Amino acid sequence: MESSKILVIDDEAVIRDAMKLILEREAYAVETCHSGYRAIELLQQRAFDLIITDLKMPGMSGIELLKSVRTLQPHTPVILITGYASVDTAVEAMKNGASDYISKPFAPDMLLEKVSSVLKQRSIPLDEIDLKKEISKNHGFHQFIGESREMQKVYHRIIHVAATNSTVLITGESGTGKELAARAIHDNSPRKEKPFVAVDCSSLAETLLESELFGHVKGSFTGAVQTKTGLFKVADGGTLFLDEVSNISLSTQAKLLRALQERKVTPIGGTQLVPIDIHLVAATNKNLRTLANEGSFREDLFFRLNIIPIELPPLRSRRQDIPILIRHFLEKYTREIGKKINGIAPDVMAFLEEYSYPGNVRELENMIERAVVLAEGETICNEDLELWDSSAPESGRIIETVPLNAEELKEMKRHIREQAITSLETLFVRNALDRNSWNVTKAAEETGILRPNFQGMMKKLGISAREHN
């Protein structure tokens, strides 16, 4: 039988090491770390059967960590250890979902007794839960579409975090629906009747962003002709969504960190602290951990934002959702545009199911909208997607001139399919460039693909804008 996996968190090395030694003597598999922030990173990487954490730690307390565990691994029990034992402490711990608590100093037998008792009562693991019971019956969650296992996990995380005030960091490639996730969190929270305020941090200059977030007083800088209420205060009682948070300057990051720690803001030019009550949700398509290591993003702010992470999967990793998305977008745009479309030609459907979607769901939506607009019949065909010329040689046809065994035939089909997809991708990119006079930025925007990704496709396919300059 596999040993139970236990994570021990304590800022005192001597306590950590002592618990590890005691537990490993009983054949438990033990991992230790020194802070709640590091524990959150470990909880994102692997599952544990039990978590034991100190209550009083610098940066993040055991109670704060406990709240995050309830979202990250909701069925993992937690034992709190405190040197400040009291009835009030125990009550607060149990209210926040702790399975038990133990006070310092403790005897080894007491620790082992608590661990054994909690593990025997452990809840069923997440994999045994039917996540479909937690999501909409219509293959979606608010405006999310999909019933893949990957999306069910996203829905599950949204449901759990919506009931808390824990800061959320949503990550994922462009076009995966980060703002949709933020809105779903808000709409499922006790704050849903209060404002949802979204800020695109990449679209505002540093001084303007600070003014937007924190507000300013009249005369505090040139152009400040009247006092302005910051979005932190506008979102009071509700949810503040900071999109593309990686683009915030280091100086503004420091002010954002202070606001999150103190739950108060100071308007530019002001002297009075203004209390705020918000649920902060941030999003980025970049790796903040990497940026923190490089020095372009504050590590302490990364830890403060990354309390509850939600990673949105790219469309290519949940291909079973593609037909559902296609049907949804077809219904949406035929209704909006007022056209009757009965279906999609088999060769077009094959392409859509195999395509890599660097622009993710947004790109697929743009493709279907364009096809509905251009369609002259009741079936979407290749001309409607503007993917390839109807005069081009038929691709995908297999001509067997010599006998082939099953493995050779399979390899031939794979090779032909890859060639066909490359040919379709080439025509897709060239047509997008043609429609936009070979302006790469405009072609990328039209197709819903980030400019660097679009340029990457051009490079992979051997297409250069210079040939048309």
CA dihedral 380, 384, 390, 395 (to 10 degrees): -60
Both ends of the chain: CA-CA distance in Å?
Answer: 68
Residues 360 and 258 in one domain: no
Count of beta carbons in the 10 Å neighbourhood of residue 3? 13
Exposed/middle/buried for residue 178 (C-beta within 10 Å: 0-12, 13-18, 19+) = buried
Q: For residue 138, tell me if it sits in a domain.
A: no
Count of structural domains, the chain: 3
Neighbour count for residue 251 (Cβ, 10 Å)? 11
Q: Token pair of 237, please?
A: 């009682």
Domain membership flag for residue 389: yes
Reduce the DSSP state of residue 50 to 3 states and report it.
Answer: strand
Angle of helix 406-435 versus helix 440-447 axis, rounded to 10: 120
Q: Which of 61, 94, 127 is the last residue of a domain?
A: 127
Output the pLDDT for position 33: 94
| Residue 167 · residue 305 · CB < 8 Å | yes
Q: Note the residue count of the chain.
A: 469
Closest C-alpha to 268, from 252, 280, 283: 252
Question: Considering the domain boundaries, does residue 58 fall inside one?
Answer: yes
CATH at 39? 3.40.50.2300
Tally: H helices and E strands in the chain: 19, 18
pLDDT of residue 271: 76
Residue 227: inside a domain: yes
Same domain, yes or no, for 309 and 322? no
CATH label of the domain that carries residue 163: 3.40.50.300
| Residue 134 included in any domain | no
Q: Determine, yes or no, domain membership for 188.
A: yes
Token pair 């590091």 is found at 38
**Whether residue 321 sits in one domain with residue 240:** no
| Cα distance between residue 25 and residue 67, in whole Å | 30
436 and 344 within one domain: yes
Choose one of 254, 286, 313: the last residue of a domain.
Answer: 313
CATH of the domain at 332: 1.10.8.60
pTM of the model: 0.68
The domain boundary, picked from 79, 97, 127, lies at: 127
Q: Return the SS3 of 229.
A: strand
Same domain, 167 and 306: yes
324 and 309 part of one domain: no
**Phi, psi angle pair for 427, to nearest 5°:** -70, -35
Whether 296 is covered by a domain: the verdict is: yes
* Tokens at 179, concatenated: 């703002």
Same structural domain, 119 and 155: no
Taken in order 341, 343, 344, 350, the sign of the CA dihedral is positive
The helix or strand, by DSSP H or E, that contains position 168, with its residue range, turns out to be strand 168-171
Residue 437 belongs to what domain range? 317-468
| Whether residues 265 and 382 fall in one domain | no
Please tell me whether residues 303 and 325 are part of one structural domain. Answer: no
304 and 359 inside one domain: no
pLDDT in tens, the chain (469 residues): 578 899 999 998 888 898 999 999 999 999 999 999 899 888 888 889 999 999 888 888 888 888 888 878 878 899 988 876 555 666 677 777 788 888 877 888 889 999 998 988 764 444 444 444 444 443 446 577 888 888 888 988 898 899 889 999 999 999 999 999 999 999 989 999 999 999 998 877 777 888 889 888 887 776 666 888 889 999 999 999 999 999 999 999 999 999 999 999 988 887 788 899 999 999 999 999 999 999 999 999 999 999 999 999 999 999 989 988 998 899 899 999 888 888 888 888 888 888 889 899 999 999 999 899 988 888 888 888 865 443 333 333 322 333 444 565 555 455 555 665 666 677 778 888 888 888 888 888 888 788 888 888 888 888 887 766 5
The tally of CA atoms less than 13 A away on the side-chain side of residue 426 is: 13
Nearest to 71 by CA among 3, 8, 126, 128: 126
pLDDT at 139: 42
The answer to whether position 144 is within a domain reads no
Q: Are residues 68 and 179 in the same domain?
A: no
327 and 182 housed in the same domain: no
